[in-house]
Each structure stands twice: as C-alpha cells, then as structure tokens.
Structure 1
Amino acid sequence: MKLRSRFFKQSLLWQQQLSSTEGNIENTKTFSIKELKKATNNFNRNRILGQGGQGTVYKGMLVDGIIVAIKKSKVLDEGKVLDEEKVKDFINEVVILTQINHRNIVKLLGCCLETEVPLLVYEFIPNGTLLQYIHDENEDFPLSWERRLAIASEVASALSYLHLAASIPIYHRDVKSSNILLDEKYRAKVSDFGISTSIAVDQTHLTTNVQGTFGYVDPEYFQSGHFTEKSDVYSFGVVLVELLTGEKPVSLERAKGGRNLAPYFKLSMEENNLFNILDARVKDSSAHEEIIKVAKLAYRCLSLSGERRPRMIEIAMELEQICFLQNNSNGQKNNDEITNVRTEVTNHWDVASSSGAALSIDMEQAFSSESWGLLEKQVSSNIK
C-alpha cells in the first residue's frame, strides 16, 4: 500500500513537471502498467528489440492492434537501487520529444508513470538500426549508395530541425548509427533523446560533464566541456564516414594509427586515398562525383575547430542538392574529379594562425593511438 502511494505521488510530480513544459503534453497519452504488460506478454524476453546503456526496448501490441516499441529502464529490469540520473534521463526524453514533430524523428506516443522510472512508448520502426545495415556483412538487404545518401540527407534534415525549427533549440548529444532507425521503406528516424538538451534561443553552448559515445564525441567538447550545435555536427560527420566506408567508429582491426575512424578518414582524404577505403557497395556505384562531394562534406564536419564546421542547416541543404544531382545524374564517371580530389580537399584544410595550428596539432595528438588508452580511462565513467 505504501509502495502504491509513493508511486502515485511520484506520478503526480512527473505529471506536473511534464505539464510545465512547452511541449504538446496534451497529445501524449498516459498508459497504465497493466496495458503495457499485456502488450508485451509481461515484458517477455522474446519481445526484446534491443538493449542499451539506459534500458531495454520491447516490441508490443496494444489492444487496438497498433504495434509499438516500449522502453523500460534497466533499474526496473534488474531491480537496482533507484538511480536519480536514470530517472532524469527518462523524464528528459519525454519532455524533449513532446516538443518535436518531424518525419525523420521517432515519435513518442505516450508514457507510463506508474513505475519508479517512467516507461516510454514509441511508434514501432520495423527495420532496426542503421548500424546493423552498415556493419553486418550478412545483411539480406545491403544498403545501396543511393539509399545511404538519402539516409544521410534525412538525418541532416532531422538534426537541422532540432537546432533551428523545434519550439526551442535542441542538441541531440548522442548522434550515432545505432540511434538512427530505419522504417519499412528504409527511411531514417533519429532516436534516443535521453541526454538531449534544450537551450535558450540566445545560448551558444552548454557546459556539462562529457557524455556521448566513444568514437563519435567531438574532440573540442572533450577538451572544453562545452557542447555546441557543432558538436552534433562532428558526430554526424562520423556517421557520414560510416556510410561511405562501412567502417566502425572505433576498431582494433585497422592499421596502426587508424583505430579512431575520424582521423583515419581525414588522413586518407589528404593522401588522395579516398577510393581505397570506401565500402565496396559504395565504390561499385557509378556516382563518383556525388561520393566525392559527400566525402568533402564529411571532412569539413570533422574539423577539429567547431567554428570551421558547417551548420546542420548548411549540411542539410548541401545533401539535398547532392541527392537532386544524384537523381538527375546520367551515371557517368568523372575521372577528372577523381584525379583532382586531393587538390580540392586541400582547400578545406584548416588554415589557422600558428597558435591555432598548434592547438589543432595538440588535439590530433590527444586522439592518436598512443594516447587512446589514457583517454579511454579518463572518460569511461561518462562515455557509453
């Protein structure tokens, strides 16, 4: 009885917190725990869609036949002591998602407030994560270059919306291929807003403990603790490189010095070696001109200086234009463009004062293979 009373009081507090936000709370349904247990056959293990640092996602069917994805905290699954930070992440995700309406962002249908940590109910996205399709060589549906380009454009559109067009600006803070879902037509849906943050319109950054996923974290954010919209841009740049190369963000199998994908890719561009590191399914495409354009864009996104990275709106517009060219291309190879890729990439290299150049060198060294083990220990408590 005391437990039910505590949950009831907590539920009222959460409802008050949600009602005080600027989101569309009135459109967010509240589910009972009874409904969600029935939908998932009491959270049966055979209903698990995926598991992550925050919790487990189950596939469920509501009484009206609608298929949903239900996110349940690890605290509830494992009977752990209540972690206030985990609760905060789940509440934060509800608050953020009620302020969002975009075709390339997963839709929150509702939540359940009858448990220690809220259960989140999303639209069901049937084709899993982008990570699976990029890195699983046995995948029955290999992603063509055309679909990869479309996915990149869709994700850029979603992130641009978050930064500029949502009711208040939002930083995603954990952009990665495993947080990009693919629907029945293999269109992208950005997901997982647990550590996302909304900011004031006139705010340029937020100061926070470093969070994110190793291999995707902006080096500038890592050094300063200041997360900006350009930190999302850096992470998106890593996703672009994944789409181009089929390589993982961090891998022990790459040659010495190439453990971290971002500097490995940048060095390959600077050495005119792009086409030697492309995924075979990309290289076999005849759209070499478009591939080079996307590679140059990724290179700019991965600049060590946030100021030199493009904004998401610029990236979205550029990718939309490349998609248009791709759709209207005659498919002919442009050998002159390929030959001159190194010269053109040089124009995008960081050109700075001697002090700025020294800073860039220091940051590259900080992410070199020699320092990697030390960095991994330093951030292991915060980085997933």
Structure 2
Amino acid sequence: MDETKRNSLRHEISTLYSLVALSHLLLLLLSPSKTKAAKSAKISLPGCPDSCGGVAIPYPFGIGLNCSMSEAFNVNCDATLNGVAIPTPSMARKWPFTILNINIPLGQARVKCLISSRCYNNATKEVESFNWLLYLEGTPYRLNHEKNKFVVIGCDIVAYVSFGASEDSFREGTSGCISLCERLDTLINGSCSGLGCCETSLPKGTNAINVEFDERHNNSRVYDFNHCGYAFLTEVDDGFEFDTRYITTVELTGQEMPVLLDWTVGNTTCDVARTNQSSFACKSKYSNCSDSITGPGYLCNCIDGYEGNPYLEEGCQDIDECANQNSCYNRGKCHNTPGGYYCSCPFGWRHTRNNSRQCELNVVPLIIGTCAAVVALSIIGISIYAILVRRDLSKIKKKYFQQYGGWILLEKIKSIQGFGFTIFTKQQIEQATNNFDSANIVGHGGQGTVYKGTLRDHIVAIKKCNIADENKKKEFGKEMLILSQINHKNIVRLLGCCLEVEVPMLVYEFIPNGTLFHHIHNKKQGSCISLTTRLRIAQESAEALAYLHFSTSPPIFHGDVKSTNILLDQNCIAKVSDFGASILAPTDEAQFVTLVQGTYGYLDPEYMQSYQLTDKSDVYSFGVVLLELLTSKSAIDFDAPEEERSLSSHFLCAMEVNKMQDLLDNEIKCEVDMEVIMKIAKLAKECLNMKGEERPTMKEVAEELDRIRKLKQHPWGVEYYIEEIETLLDEGSHNIEIEYSGYFNIDEEAEESIVVGR
C-alpha cells in the first residue's frame, strides 16, 4: 500500500472514530428562560414530544416522524443514553451532535464537541493523535465565528484549524497557534497567551473545519512531564480557563467542550419567502421575519408583547405584563391588553408627566419640593462620586507611573539639556488617537496595536502594548532612556512614552510608506521591488541592526526581525521598527530571557532550544528577510505542501540540489544578474546556519551587502582586475603591463579605463 492510500485510510479511521465518539455524548439541562412563558403555549407540533433528557426541543426541531420542519432539524432522542442529537449529512452518512440548548429568538444551538489530542504512549513509545473533523455543508447550521474560539494546550505543541466553505475546501484558510513551555513553574493559571496555552478566533462563514496537529514539531523534550497536547473549539463565554494541571495530567483526553452553532430556516430572504405562504416558516400571526446575518436563510420571532414559538400557528402568545409586580408603580393598577398593558391611578392620584406606569399625588408643590430635593441629592451624590472616582484614577495613574520608573525617567529628562524624549499623559494620547478610534489603526502585531496620531502638530505612531513584562517594570524607565538615545538614519526613532496606564504606550516617528512585507508580497502599484532597491533595503536594515548590536551601550538585541518590522519612508529608505520584543544584552546568566518571543517562521532554532536571545538570533531572522527579498515568498505558507511551508527549510534544500533559481521572484530573474543574486543567497545561507556561533555578525552581514551592492553597480571593479592579474601569473606570464589613466572611484562610474594585458 503506497503512502497516499495509507494516509487516506488513516483519515477515514480518524473520522469514523470521531463520529462514534460524538454519538455517545451526554446532555446538560436547558437553562431556564428569563421570561415567564404562557402556560398554554406549545413549543412543538401537536402529538410530538417537546423535550428529551430535560432539554426543550422547540419546532422547527422535532423528535419523531413528521415532527420537524425538515430532515436537517430532525432530533433523535436516545432514551438509553438520555441523549439528544442533530443528524447532519456528511459523506453519505449521518452523525449527531449532543444538544445542550436551543435558542429560538437568536437562532442558535449549543452543542458538545470532542477535544482533539496528541499523546505520547510510554508503553509503545509512539505518539498517538486523535484529530476532530466538523462538516456542516448542506445543512442550516454554521459555526458562530464571534462566540467560538480555537484553543491549544500543551508544551511545544503546534496545532492548526483548517477551514473552508465545504469538506473539499478545508485548505481555503488555515489558522492556528503554538503553545510553548519549558518548565512548569513558568505557567500561570487562567493565562492563555502562548505559554502552555494559546487561543485564536475563527473566520466568518465557516461551515467546514478540520483540527489537526503539526506532526513535524518534535516535543519529545517535554515527554517527562507533558504527555498530551490538546486542540479544540469552545464557546468564548463558557468560562473555560487554563489550569496548569492540564499539562501534567490526561484529564482532558476524550472530554468535550460546548460550541455555539447558528441556524436558519429556508435559504432565501424574507421578501422572497413571503411570496409562498404555504412554505413560509413564520406561521404565527403575531410573528415577524428577519434576514439572517450569518448566512442564507431567515429567522422568525414573536413581535413585542408576545412570546413563544413563532414557527407554530398559535405559537406566539400574549405576555401577561400584569403578572410582573413592577409593571405599575405607586398605587397604579395594571390592566393587560393584547400585546401590551396600561396602568390606571386611583381617585386623587394621576399619572406622572413622563411615565404612564407611575402614579403621583395631585399636589404640585409637593411634587416640586420632592423633585428639587431628589435633584439636589442626586447632584451632591454624583459630585461626591465624581470626586472619589477622579481621586482613585489619580492614585492609579501615580501607581503605574511609579511602577515603571517614571519619576527617575522624568528627573533624567530634566537634567539632560535638549533631550528629545517626552513623557506624555494618558489624556494627550487619547486626544491624539481620537480615543483610540479604529479608523486610526495602522497595524497589528503580536505585542500590540499601532495607531496613527497627532501630537504637537506632528504625525506620530503610537504603540498600545497588550501585556506588560512583570520582570521589566523596575527597569522600564532605564531602558526607555537607552532606547530613546538611539540615533540612526535607518531606525525608527522613539519620541516618548505614556506611563499612566497598566501597560506603557510608546510613541514613535511616523513612517508613511508601509512595511517591506506589503511592498514585496502585495506587489502594489508603485512598490520598490527591483533587485537594486531590494539590495539597498537589505543593506540599510543590516546596518541598523549592526548599530544596535555594536554601537549602543549596552548592546540591544531586536528579538523580532521580520519584513513587517521594516518600514519604508516616502523615498523607500528602510527604517527598522518595533522594539516591543527587544532586550538589552544580559550582563550575567541570570538575566537571560526565558519567555519565547518573536514570530513563527523567523525564530532562531537555537533560541527555541535554549530560550537565550543573542545577537545571532537577529542574524538568523535577518536571513529569512533576505530570502523574502529574493523570492517574494512568505516565511511560513500553510497552504503550501508540507515540505515547502517553511521558506528557510525550502531554501536550504534547494541550495543543496542547486535549484535555488526555481525559488527566485520573476521580477528579479529578468534582471539577469545571477552573480549578485547567488552572493546574496550564499549570505542568506550563512545567516541560517543552525549553529549560532558559525553565523556571521550583523556588522559582517552589512559589510558583505555593501560589497555586493558595489559589485552590482561596478561589475568591472578593482577585484576583477586583481583576478585578471592572478590569472595571468598562473598562466606563466612574467611581463604584465598595466595601463591606467584618470581617476578611478569605486563608488562612482568612471569614464577612465584600466587595461590589463601581456
């Protein structure tokens, strides 16, 4: 049996296993409705059961023959398992979900789905994976992308959720995340930000999903304390929180999580459905129809003043508002009417001017006096509350300011004359960004969100970070002093910060021409993507990183070098940005960083093993950027074949078999400058060396790029003539004439010439 058939068989077995497991799910009780339903209201068709296992089954759902609107809403009630399920067509089979709750007004159903697992078996020394598949094509159900999330738990576990519009298009998109940890004492209960647990959202319109693990990712080094990794979908508001015991136990294996599905009736809009009253689903005369916002079809609801099941002819019943003791106030008597109610007042009382539900004495002075007293007390209370809130806010601002070394930083700024660094207030930042209006967002990153703003009549970029590093709080002010003094033409300048918030905000100069990533990947009109321009951008970026490594004291390691962190100004001059992941070079071993940071696809493999960020980590990441410039391919491409997903791995394999030219971007292939291209490729290969000590320094990289640029500009330069002379000597020539006239400058085109010959 060949490998293709074997993989197909594994997939079929995994799918069958998931179908069998899903058919044995247990029920939770249906949450009681907040509104008191009419006693005579029916929720199912006459003669049909309206519940199973404590869960209400309202029409269009139904249990039994002719009890549901269509086969897709037919519900099986298994008395032996106390189970309820929705059968869903899948590959000519039907497989069920266990129902937890059906919500008629919202058109939603809460169901339970299995957790995918990848476990190491101590007995067999094998890794056993169970991957979960969800296929809703051809049904009225779809995943709610806002109220569900994808969660991965484990150490050194990479899991993906492939999604699409149908079972045959799972690769329309791929999302996922990586959960990393080396030691148990670094894990935090309730935290799901990548350390032991990570989570991500789902795209809109997804109705086909496949959950799977990255089998290439070797996590054998954690088998002694972490046997199982997990990946699953779960409802956002379910209350699930990460617990560190999930790392050391297998209690999540075979468990289920609640997932929220949206459903609709029909496959047309309300206007089209009304043209055929016999098939129109909104049967109650007190119902209305609304088009679904999650997909084709529509939903029915009872109009205001009525409740019940709008899909049944007598399903919407009048609400008896008078049963609520708060319907009428202050001696008001309640009178129920179809679809509403009114309040009457006894003799000597009248309705208040602005509220027909409340009665008052018909004494004007008493009303005026009472109202004046209430207003005065309210104003006094609001004023006291505002003063207390302002005082609390002021204390909180001072607390944050002091935590991050604000007072020390402020004194340093005052003591240094002409120091171009400013500590901004929270109010200034909010005004500059129009209270962080989403229209001002210019970029998202793993560290936070970047907004465009105006401070002191200058356009700036304001970075609002997501999480503060607790270990860096005391040293934050000192680091700001060091980072603010970075002065290099190819580094985005840090202008100031705001310390009055829980997580400090950083203010940078604004670079208007977008990122290098967009220029080389989007190929938008006017992009600077010629080989000459790419080579210049690479050299400028390398010089910026070399400056951080060798010209600052202490040296600064960027920690997140990638094409999205290289900005281009209006002249396409490179500007290295985003120092959110940067650290100052450690002075002793105790200061080495232990939290994995950076971007998947650019991370130094040696750093992934040691968790020690060095200058050679930046060199590796820069090597990936060089590959992007040569190939115009992304660092990670989840849609590519498995052996081509990682650009660095694909490149190194291509170099081994002399097929590197197949990866080149067509726009630089046509420039027929293969000598320059091969030199860049060789440099990239050296940067991607698995051993950090064998990689060049950033200063050496910058110098080599400078030599390559000069070679491209002056292919007949001095080195060429030296090679010519050496060739003549090797051939036995002892009489070599060199004719040189004029001034020859390697940095400029020279009209003069050098002639070498016998």
Asked if structure 1 preserves the Cα contact closer than 8 Å seen for 2:409 and 2:478, the reply is no
Question: What is residue 326 of structure 1 aligned with on the other side?
Answer: 712
* Residue aligned with 2:462, SS: strand
Distance in structure 2 (CA, Å) of the matches to 1:18 and 1:205? 22
Distance in structure 1 (CA, Å) of the matches to 2:495 and 2:651? 39
Distance in structure 2 (CA, Å) of the matches to 1:207 and 1:84? 12
Kindly report which structure 2 residues correspond to 1:1-384, keeping only aligned pairs within 5 A, or say none.
1-13=391-403, 14-16=405-407, 18=409, 26-63=419-456, 65-74=457-466, 84=470, 94-200=480-586, 206-329=592-715
Deviation digits for residues 62-118 of structure 1, max 9, x if unmatched? Answer: 34x21111112347xxxxxx8847978986873552242111111011112222222
Q: More helix by proportion, 1 or 2?
A: 1
Distance in structure 1 (CA, Å) of the matches to 2:397 and 2:582? 26
Cα 1:233–1:39 change in 2 (3 A) is: same
Cα 1:256–1:161 change in 2 (3 A) is: same
**Which one scores higher on RCO, CA 8 angstroms, separation ≥ 6?**
1
Question: What is residue 376 of structure 1 aligned with on the other side?
Answer: none
* Residue aligned with 1:27, SS: coil
Cα 1:195–1:270 change in 2 (3 A) is: same
Cα 1:138–1:103 change in 2 (3 A) is: closer
Asked if structure 2 preserves the Cα contact closer than 8 Å seen for 1:174 and 1:232, the reply is yes
Asked if structure 2 preserves the Cα contact closer than 8 Å seen for 1:58 and 1:71, the reply is yes
Query: 1:18, CA displacement in angstroms?
Result: 3.6
Asked if structure 2 preserves the Cα contact closer than 8 Å seen for 1:157 and 1:313, the reply is yes
Query: 1:173, CA displacement in angstroms?
Result: 0.9
TM-score normalised according to structure 2 size: 0.40
Asked if structure 2 preserves the Cα contact closer than 8 Å seen for 1:60 and 1:69, the reply is yes
The residue type equivalent to 2:677 in the other structure is I
Q: Alignment identity in percent? A: 49
Q: Which moved more, 1:250-259 or 1:238-247?
A: 250-259
Q: Which moved more, 1:302-311 or 1:191-200?
A: 191-200
Distance in structure 2 (CA, Å) of the matches to 1:49 and 1:84? 27
Distance in structure 1 (CA, Å) of the matches to 2:508 and 2:515? 15
Query: 1:221, CA displacement in angstroms?
Result: 1.4
RMSD of the alignment, in Å?
A: 2.9
Asked if structure 2 preserves the Cα contact closer than 8 Å seen for 1:90 and 1:194, the reply is no
Distance in structure 1 (CA, Å) of the matches to 2:506 and 2:592? 26
Distance in structure 1 (CA, Å) of the matches to 2:551 and 2:712? 27
* Residue aligned with 2:644, SS: coil
Deviation digits for residues 133-158 of structure 1, max 9, x if unmatched? Answer: 12113454251111110111011101
Asked if structure 1 preserves the Cα contact closer than 8 Å seen for 2:605 and 2:690, the reply is yes
Asked if structure 1 preserves the Cα contact closer than 8 Å seen for 2:586 and 2:592, the reply is no
Distance in structure 1 (CA, Å) of the matches to 2:490 and 2:639? 33
Query: 1:206, CA displacement in angstroms?
Result: 3.3
Cα 1:89–1:121 change in 2 (3 A) is: farther
Query: 1:225, CA displacement in angstroms?
Result: 2.2
* Residue aligned with 2:463, SS: strand
Cα 1:169–1:163 change in 2 (3 A) is: same
Asked if structure 1 preserves the Cα contact closer than 8 Å seen for 2:528 and 2:572, the reply is no
Query: 1:203, CA displacement in angstroms?
Result: 7.8
Structure 2 gaps, min length 5: 1-390, 717-758
TM-score normalised according to structure 1 size: 0.76
The residue type equivalent to 1:297 in the other structure is L
